[in-house]
Homo-oligomer: A and B are copies of this chain.
Amino acid sequence: MDIRLLVGQNLRRLRQARGWSQEDLALTAGVDRTYVSGVERGVRNPTVMVLCQFGAALGVEAAVLILEEGRCIVDRKQ
């Protein structure tokens, strides 16, 4: 599974869950509208800093964006 496709799927799912357009996300994250489109389609290879911007815009940790579905982040026990 190409990690770019995984990021794209996660980004789109989280964006749509908020009822946002690609442009809404782009403005909030401080990136270009066409760039959001490219990342969602898996044709772009974003840097960790951009991943962080997307995470901040969506109110989630950047790690969530490169996590496969069915897995999640929790506080480590102990």
Contact = CB atoms under 8 A, between A and B. Distances in A.
Interface centre among A4, A64, A73, A74 (most CB of B within 10 A): A73
Chain A interface category by residue count: 20 to 34
A48 B63 CA distance: 11
Given A48-B7, A48-B46, A51-B66, A72 B71 contact: no
A17 interface: no
Contacts of A76: 70-72
Given A70-B75, A71-B74, A72-B73, 17 more contacts: A3-B52, A3-B62, A4-B48, A4-B49, A7-B48, A45-B48, A46-B48, A48-B48, A52-B66, A61-B66, A61-B68, A63-B67, A63-B73, A71-B73, A72-B76, A73-B74, A74-B74
